[in-house]
Amino acid sequence: MSCILALDQGTTSSRAIVFSEQGAPIASAQREFHQYFPQPGWVEHDAMEIWHSQRDVAREAVEKAGIEPTELRGIGIANQRETTLIWDRQTGEPLYNAIVWQDRRTAGQCTELRSAGVETIIREKTGLVIDPYFSATKIGWLLDHLPNARARAERGELAFGTIDTWLVWQMSQSRTHVTDPSNASRTMLFNIHTGDWDDELLRILRVPRPILPDVYPSAHVFGMAAPEFLGEAIPISGIAGDQQAALFGQGCHRAGMAKNTYGTGCFMLMHTGQRAVISANGLVCTAAAQIGRARDARDTEKEYALEGSVFAAGSVVQWLRNELHFFRTAADIEALAASVPDNGGVYFVPGFTGLGAPHWDPFARGLLIGLTRGSTRAHIARAALESIAFQSADVLQAMQLDSGEKLSELRVDGGAAANDLLMQFQADILGVPVLRPRVVETTALGAAALAGLGTGLWSSRDVLASNWEVERRFLPQMNAQAVTDLMARWREAVRRSLRFAELM
């Protein structure tokens, strides 16, 4: 048998899934890891814990699949993006915890960059808006706050990586320091048009080139996982950031096709073909997974996507569960929310870590508004679920304006896409059919697909796209006036949450 191992290293858990040669999942394993919140607005992960959890679930999945390591033709990685780590090349020791994408500690540096007038140049070269979300200012923070780090970085003693890079470094036993364009394009240091790190950006953001990994196309043999990992040397042949991996796994390969992932955050991506659409409406332009057979990322055929990143989605459900003890499991929110016919006028803006697309306000904070003496836990739960759909609707509107494409359907995945009430409400608010596929592990599937292409197990992505099947189709049912009224009140609630933390 020939199989592919997909590693899906997410924000809250590490997963591994073994896929058959036909692209079907055979066995999987998953483990959660710790989230550290050392100060308000700061979010960190222990890089070693990430590696160990990923290694252990990979071994467990291969064992459950009942296959020999020799049957593994390749390893694909999909990872939480932007999360930033610096380690010592000699010892392999991380200098500090990984600073997670949600972390807001560099909001001040971002304000300074904006006042320095570099917003346009950054947007044009990287496709991004200036926000603490992206890696560059996190790298800057590490180099400025850790003893000797900047000098050591310049001497080439340190390595920077997003989580894909870190996992490859570990699997290859420190031999391979690489990434792919979909991850590189989230650092704010990568020129998405040339496919290379950009010297001018490195200067503006004060990042020394010697710490950066080499960039290769997403489907490519990046290096070998050492036999110590799974018992045999196995090619690491696919890498993409989790959202671009999901776009790939959803079979969205043509301009105008879009998917939305409902995980910790919500990430809507629309493929724009070979056209880099620089957003005028608060979205970002990002490199999609690139599968050209080129030697490195500069020569490969470029593909792009427009993206709207919403920071808090499934995390509002986690918050109601863990902090307010509203229910026992995330899935319980559906019954609670369904116990009332509507939100009762309650709106919940989950600005826990500021607001992402299309507002980009790191100083926004969470807001619960419209409460009356008759408001219940059920209304709040419903408002929380609806906030996920409202935020996605704001993003979609911007996406249609930027791309000039009218969405005909939305493909969905991620943990919270299992929620039927949410999916129906999403279809209602967007006014387009929402399609949930049979294989909802699209992130892992995308990573597996890239790895299978990279190692030559599969010859073209069309083979895989034809495997995509709908499990359930949610059709819009709500009348237009009701949608308009809901959206108007939602937008007013958002307006009131903006810039709140600036007052502190």
Asked if residue 369 lies in contact with residue 380, where contact means CB atoms within 8 angstroms, the answer is no
Tokens standing for residue 23: 């692209």
Give the C-alpha separation, 81 to 245, whole Å: 11
Q: By CB under 6 A, tell whether 338 contacts ligand ADP.
A: no
Stretch touching ligand ADP by CB under 6 A, among 102-110, 200-208, 326-334, 452-460: 326-334
Minimum CB separation of residue 314 from ligand ADP in Å reads 2
Give the C-alpha separation, 112 to 484, whole Å: 38
Interface residue with ligand ADP, options 100, 317, 430, 450 (CB under 6 A): 317
The CA distances from residue 368 to 164, 312, 421, in Å, are 37, 14, 20
Interface residue with ligand ADP, options 263, 308, 350, 452 (CB under 6 A): 263
Q: What single letter denotes the amino acid at residue 251?
A: G
Q: By CB under 6 A, tell whether 315 contacts ligand ADP.
A: yes
Minimum CB separation of residue 310 from ligand ADP in Å reads 12
Give the C-alpha separation, 83 to 42, whole Å: 12
Give the C-alpha separation, 365 to 19, whole Å: 41
Q: By CB under 6 A, tell whether 2 contacts ligand ADP.
A: no
Q: What single letter denotes the amino acid at residue 172?
A: S
Only one residue has tokens 């108007």, namely: 488
Minimum CB separation of residue 338 from ligand ADP in Å reads 11
Minimum CB separation of residue 396 from ligand ADP in Å reads 19
Main-chain dihedrals φ then ψ at residue 117, nearest 5 degrees: 75, 25
Helix, strand and coil in the chain, % to nearest 5: 35, 20, 40
Q: By CB under 6 A, tell whether 237 contacts ligand ADP.
A: no
Stretch touching ligand ADP by CB under 6 A, among 177-185, 229-237, 354-362, 410-418: 410-418
Q: By CB under 6 A, tell whether 12 contacts ligand ADP.
A: yes
Distance of CA 11 to the CA centre of its chain: 8
Nearer to ligand ADP, 204 or 395 (CB): 395
Q: By CB under 6 A, tell whether 13 contacts ligand ADP.
A: yes
Q: Which residue is nearest to ligand ADP (CB)?
A: 415
Q: By CB under 6 A, tell whether 260 contacts ligand ADP.
A: no
Q: By CB under 6 A, tell whether 57 contacts ligand ADP.
A: no
Applying CB under 6 A, the site for ligand ADP has a residue count of 19
Q: Beta strand pairing status for 234-241 and 284-287?
A: unpaired
Stretch 285-314 residues interacting with ligand ADP (CB under 6 A): 314
Give the C-alpha separation, 84 to 187, whole Å: 9
Minimum CB separation of residue 382 from ligand ADP in Å reads 12
Task: State whether residue 125 is helix, strand or coil.
Answer: helix
Q: By CB under 6 A, tell whether 264 contacts ligand ADP.
A: yes
- Burial class for 236, CB neighbours closer than 10 Å (0-12, 13-18, 19+): buried
Minimum CB separation of residue 261 from ligand ADP in Å reads 7
Q: Which residues contact 102 (CB under 8 A, 6 or more apart)?
A: 11, 43, 133, 264, 265, 311, 353
The 368-407 site mask, x for binding ligand ADP (CB under 6 A), equals: ----------------------------------------
Interface residue with ligand ADP, options 343, 419, 426, 455 (CB under 6 A): 419
Q: By CB under 6 A, tell whether 416 contacts ligand ADP.
A: yes
Nearer to ligand ADP, 33 or 500 (CB): 33
Q: By CB under 6 A, tell whether 418 contacts ligand ADP.
A: yes
Give the C-alpha separation, 394 to 396, whole Å: 6
Q: Which residues contact 116 (CB under 8 A, 6 or more apart)?
A: 204
Stretch touching ligand ADP by CB under 6 A, among 10-18, 108-116, 119-127, 471-479: 10-18
Give the C-alpha separation, 407 to 269, whole Å: 12
Interface residue with ligand ADP, options 4, 9, 11, 360 (CB under 6 A): 11
Interface residue with ligand ADP, options 9, 10, 72, 223 (CB under 6 A): 10
Interface residue with ligand ADP, options 318, 397, 400, 467 (CB under 6 A): 318
Minimum CB separation of residue 331 from ligand ADP in Å reads 4
Interface residue with ligand ADP, options 116, 151, 331, 475 (CB under 6 A): 331
Q: Which residues pair with 159 in a beta bridge?
A: 87
Q: Which residues pair with 308 in a beta bridge?
A: 268
Q: Which residues pair with 8 in a beta bridge?
A: 15, 78
Stretch touching ligand ADP by CB under 6 A, among 192-200, 396-404, 414-422, 462-470: 414-422
Q: By CB under 6 A, tell whether 358 contacts ligand ADP.
A: no
DSSP at 194:
T
Asked if residue 312 lies in contact with residue 356, where contact means CB atoms within 8 angstroms, the answer is no
Q: Which positions lie near ligand ADP, rule CB under 6 A?
A: 10-13, 263-264, 314-315, 317-318, 330-331, 333-334, 414-416, 418-419
